[in-house]
Amino acid sequence: MKLVAGLGNPGREYEGTPHNVGFQVVDLLIEHLGISGFQSKFRSKICRASISGESCLFIKPQTYMNKSGEAVAEFVNFYKIPIEKIVIISDDIDLPPGKVRFRDEGGHGGHNGLRSIIESLGSGDFHRIRFGVGRPEDNGSVVGHVLGRWSEAEIKLTREAFNLAPKHIPTIYALASAEFQQQNIGETLNLLKKLLVLDSKHYWAWELLADSYREQGNISEALITYNKAAELSEDKSAIFMKIARLELQELNRIQSAMKTLKRAIQADKQNADAYYYLGYAQKDLGRWKDASASLRMYLKLKPKSGFALEVKQDIADLENRDVESERPF
């Protein structure tokens, strides 16, 4: 059995970043092989295939980059995979964009994912494929570069990959994310609409589409699209928060925003920010007792918030107002 592991970080905020090249390459490989769908096992997303009669596991560790070795080691130990049958795919800042390096062994080269794997396996004698993402310009932050916005060169490379695989959904989404980060909203919209024709239930695409409409100033379309994203999303509370902010900040629909914030809390009772916004919306409508209760829940969930002192003062003021409103004239 062979193991092919593409390295990256889980979560939408890391989608399409240079550090997640390993995830994208695994997606391209399984697309090319005609495999559909990932399963979850050993803190990883996993697909199985048979290549030249030999079983092969394709995995994307969900442990975050600096703990990739923990996930890889679980597969290696469970399936007794020899180290010479392991292939690790990662980004490489020492290679310019567009370059690929193959090595049969070696050190980690400062890459935290490779470092973790070497430590967990006790050896660096596995195959590795490194895709160049280049170094930041003007000696900027490496972390900011690999986890931040795409450069024009990286967008170009992703576009080239897109041209090679025009119906590859993860690549389209990665390119749309990159265009959005560069504030190319028109191109972002075009790509996302193309993606949603291929996969109408891609909730991250619906959310990014709504974000794009919001940036464009098309608030009514953003609200419609956020609601579509909320229908499909696994994190409904976060989407409801975006809707509520639009209702409060752009439309001044306080009553509607309060209903949306209550939906956010219903979806995630630990959503402290929902209680925060709800409390101040209730305050604006003169609902002192309700506002005080909501803000107290915020402090319970976020006792060390940077706004804690201000919120405590507001609660005291609200409770004084409530007492005064009950006094007979």
Known catalytic residue: 19?
yes
Q: Cβ distance 205 to 173 under 8 Å?
A: yes
Q: What residues contact 190, with CB distance under 8 A and at least 6 apart? A: none
For 48, 71, 250, 274, 318, the CA distances from 291, given in Å and listed in that order, are 53, 45, 22, 12, 7
Catalytic residue among 19, 111, 145, 202: 19
Longest Cα–Cα distance in the chain: 89
Tokens 């265009």 found at: 179
In 3D space, the residue among 221, 185, 226 whose CA is nearest the CA of residue 204 turns out to be 226
Q: What residues contact 249, with CB distance under 8 A and at least 6 apart? A: none
Q: What is the spatial distance between Cα 224 and Cα 205, in angstroms, rounded to a whole number? A: 14
Q: What is the spatial distance between Cα 147 and Cα 208, in angstroms, rounded to a whole number? A: 18
Instruction: Return the structure tokens found at 191.
Output: 């790509």
Q: Cβ distance 217 to 183 under 8 Å?
A: no
Q: What residues contact 62, with CB distance under 8 A and at least 6 apart? A: 10, 40, 43, 44, 45, 71
Looking at the annotation, which residues are catalytic?
19
